[in-house]
Amino acid sequence: MRHFHVVSDVSDTSAIISHRARVSFEGETTPNKKLRRLSPAKYSPITGTHILSSFTSRDVGPDDTSTDAADLAVQAHRATTREQQHSEERDEFSALRSKVEASVSILKATREKLLCLWASEGSRELEYVLGAWNKTGDLSAELQRNRKLVAQLESRGSSTGAQET
> Model's pTM, two decimal places?
0.38
Range 142-145 contact pairs with CB under 8 angstroms and sequence separation of 24 or more: 143/97, 143/100, 143/101, 143/104
Would 83 be classed as within a structural domain? yes
Would 26 be classed as within a structural domain? no
Domain match, 69 and 109 both: no
The whole domain housing 115 covers 103-165
Domain count, the chain: 2
Domain match, 90 and 108 both: no
Mean pLDDT of 147-165: 74
Domain match, 157 and 134 both: yes
Domain match, 107 and 163 both: yes
- Residue range 9-64, pLDDT digits in tens: 444 444 454 444 444 444 555 555 555 665 666 767 777 776 666 554 555 455 54
